[in-house]
Structure 1
Amino acid sequence: MSPSDLSPPSEPKRVQTRQFATLRTIIALMLREMSTRYGGSPGGYAWAILEPLGGILVLAAGFSLVMHTPALGTSFILFYATGMMPFLFYNGVAGAIATSMAFSRPLLRYPSVTWMDAIIARFVLNSLTQLMVIYILFTGILLTAQTGTVLDFGPILEALVLCALLGLGVGTMNCLLSGLYPAWTQVWSIITRPLFLASGVLMTMEQLPRSVQNILWYNPLVHILGLMRRGFYPMYKAEYVSTAYVVTVSLVLCALGLVLLMRYHKDILNT
């Protein structure tokens, strides 16, 4: 045996081994959540599609009784889908990441599983799930409603990326705060209860008074929903949309949350 055989593994090899182990851990966490969240209930993934579809149909049926046409286009279903689906995308990702450490707490006792693995696994799985639901629902709506919509995929894809990024930022901060202060979950639920109305799901920004627009502009979801609707309605300019603002808010929240989680994750796990 040569001396080279007894030497410790090189640094690049150690990094590759660690990366492979991390990838396996993330995939294992994703599979665990899929089996726990969807495998144990009748219908499984079908409920991820039926729930938002039911909400959209109720909104469309209700408002069609009191309004002749929606704020944009001629289809109530399409209009409310362009507002509700990005909202649910953000909400689903943010909520999943906020509870990622609590959900994987038993596994985080093992040295091979880190808090970062738990966050990444839930982010990837829930983002892919929401994208699948959005694709299926919009495809079904466009095929059955005969809206004659000409899609602009640029703003649509941009809005979906911003949904995931904002969900990651808000979810990471809430993961930290709810871990350090358990009552924060209830506080956040109360604070964000009006968010569905304040994000422009039921109406466009231009339908609101100027004073209300000036306040709601600081809600990043307003920009995301406006961007999404710009992709479905070519005549809708949504000039108030600022992608830079949404990206800045998302990255600041994400960076601050990750830095503080690096400092306090052990305290959270030991509570």
Structure 2
Amino acid sequence: MTNTSTNAGDARRKPRVSANAPSLEARRPSGGTQRHFKALRTIVALMLREMSTRYGRTPGGYIWSLLEPVAAILFLSFGFSLMIRTPPLGTSFLLFYTTGYLPFGMYNNISNTTAKATIYSRSLLKFPAVNWLDAILARLFLNSLTNIVVMFIVIGGVWVAVDGRSVIDLPSALVGVGLAIILGLGVGTVNSVLMGLYPLWSLTWSIITRPLFLASGVLFLFRDLPPLARDILWYNPLIHITGIVRAAFYSSYDASYTSVTYVMLLSMTLLTLGLILMGRYHRDLLND
């Protein structure tokens, strides 16, 4: 009799839950959404930090990002116009060297800044809220956006200056830009690990890649090379990227030698390798 009355009392004390009322689990915010929001906020904060330190402390700020490629293109155009009458393609030295220099510069800038992402943000990576992937993505996004804006302004200015009348193949140009970004990310991620583990690798890499400007189709056309040189340089992914971008502005240019598949496979292989190595050795990089 006592047990029966006790159970009845417990039943009366229990709150009734409506069938239509949302459960406690349903009212809790998703942990995955919170993590994604925190990661995005961290990446934006790192981007703002780099913008203030790199561009905010120098007179002119972002203007130098625009003046540097413009000065290089003007120098190339003026120098080669003194030696040859017409460029290898078209009639404008400015447009020819712009379409070769800017994609190469985009790759070079992204790969170099990504490679130094963990070194640049080493002090912040000791905080639990910041990890190595945030540092790499912040530098990737910031430098990609900067280079895209610079490319748009410079090419637009050159196009108006030379009175370009041909139709631009915008999808091909975007493909070339995308490949330059992905390749720069892959190379930079691998180098970020190697430079952290082996300090001499930074100097070694700069020596190895010094002739890359000459071997990437910035100053010449792939079709004008001897057969042996074409067979060797075809494996340089940058010669595919400059060829794709250049073909977008010159409808008569035959870029059938280029391979988007090859550049993508090489870039994704390097990126996968870099992420695996970074996941394995990022603690060693921070404690070194």
The normalised TM-score by structure 2 is: 0.90
**Is 2:244 the partner of 1:227?**
yes
Out of 256, 260, 271, the position equivalent to 2:273 is 256
Give the distance between the partners of 2:186 and 2:193, measured in 1 at CA: 11
Residue identity opposite 1:91 in structure 2: N
**Are the counterparts in 2 of residues 200 and 225 from structure 1 also a CA contact under 8 Å?**
yes
**Is 2:152 the partner of 1:135?**
yes
Partner residue, 2:60: 43
Partner residue, 1:180: 197
**Are the counterparts in 2 of residues 75 and 147 from structure 1 also a CA contact under 8 Å?**
no
**Are the counterparts in 2 of residues 178 and 184 from structure 1 also a CA contact under 8 Å?**
yes
**Are the counterparts in 2 of residues 25 and 113 from structure 1 also a CA contact under 8 Å?**
yes
Partner residue, 2:209: 192
Secondary structure at the aligned position of 1:198 is classed as coil
The normalised TM-score by structure 1 is: 0.96
**Is 2:186 the partner of 1:161?**
no
* Residue 160 (structure 1) shift: 0.3
Distance 1:5 1:152, change over 3 A: closer
Give the distance between the partners of 2:216 and 2:262, measured in 1 at CA: 15
**Are the counterparts in 2 of residues 74 and 147 from structure 1 also a CA contact under 8 Å?**
no
Out of 128, 132, 136, the position equivalent to 1:119 is 136
Partner residue, 1:17: 34
**Is 2:110 the partner of 1:93?**
yes
Secondary structure at the aligned position of 2:252 is classed as coil
Give the distance between the partners of 1:88 and 1:26, measured in 2 at CA: 24
* Residue 150 (structure 1) shift: 2.0
Partner residue, 1:105: 122
Give the distance between the partners of 2:193 and 2:240, measured in 1 at CA: 26
Secondary structure at the aligned position of 1:155 is classed as helix
* Residue 10 (structure 1) shift: 8.1
Percentage of pairs with the same residue: 51
Distance 1:15 1:9, change over 3 A: farther
Give the distance between the partners of 1:170 and 1:102, measured in 2 at CA: 16
Residue identity opposite 1:162 in structure 2: L
Alignment of 1:199-218 (within 5 A): 199-218=216-235
Partner residue, 1:66: 83
Q: Greater Rg, structure 1 or structure 2?
A: 2
Distance 1:5 1:224, change over 3 A: same
Partner residue, 2:163: 146
**Is 2:255 the partner of 1:238?**
yes
* Residue 147 (structure 1) shift: 3.1
**Are the counterparts in 2 of residues 99 and 175 from structure 1 also a CA contact under 8 Å?**
yes
**Is 2:43 the partner of 1:26?**
yes
* Residue 7 (structure 1) shift: 6.7
Give unpaired runs (5+ residues) of structure 2: 1-14
* Residue 238 (structure 1) shift: 1.2
Residue identity opposite 1:120 in structure 2: L
Residue identity opposite 2:264 in structure 1: V
Give the distance between the partners of 1:19 and 1:10, measured in 2 at CA: 18
